[in-house]
């Protein structure tokens, strides 16, 4: 069931992203992240990278659940594990990573098709 989902992302990246307007250097924030100026082809391997990350996160969460940790403990542990530490993205990246780390265990253990939801949110 995951292959049609991945194929949809690939089609969006190959055919949809090139249709979007280019990012204006004049309107970009000071010290913009590199992905703002990446070509559409950057996002195809990035999607595979995100799938790999989600697979690792799923294994970590499921292993913790099988070891007997409660959902709340896993959520707190994942939030702390994904708290971010780079100085240039401290506020934005740390908040997003903490929220996503806390949400992942719920998606994997409680939500229907949680892996697909997590992958879509991360993409």
The continuous run of DSSP H or E covering 14 comes out as none
The pLDDT score that the predictor gives to residue 90 is 56
CA gap 115, 59 in Å, rounded: 11
CA gap 101, 56 in Å, rounded: 13
By the 8 A CB rule, do 23 and 39 touch?
no
The pLDDT score that the predictor gives to residue 107 is 87
pLDDT digits (tens, 9 = 90+) for 72-118: 998 888 877 766 555 555 567 677 778 888 888 888 888 888 888 88
Q: pTM to 2 decimals?
A: 0.52
Query: What mean pLDDT is predicted for residues 56-83?
Result: 86
């Amino acid at each position: 069931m995951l292959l049609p989902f991945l194929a949809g992302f690939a089609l969006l990246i190959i055919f949809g992203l090139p249709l979007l307007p280019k990012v204006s250097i004049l309107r970009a924030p000071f010290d913009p992240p590199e992905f703002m100026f990446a070509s559409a082809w950057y996002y195809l391997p990035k999607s595979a990278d995100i799938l790999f990350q989600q697979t690792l996160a799923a294994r970590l969460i499921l292993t913790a659940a099988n070891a007997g940790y409660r959902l709340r403990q896993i959520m707190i542990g994942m939030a702390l594990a994904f708290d971010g530490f780079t100085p240039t993205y401290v506020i934005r990246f740390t908040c997003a990573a903490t929220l996503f780390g806390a949400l992942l265990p719920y998606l994997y253990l409680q939500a229907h098709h949680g892996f697909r939801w997590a992958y879509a949110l991360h993409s």
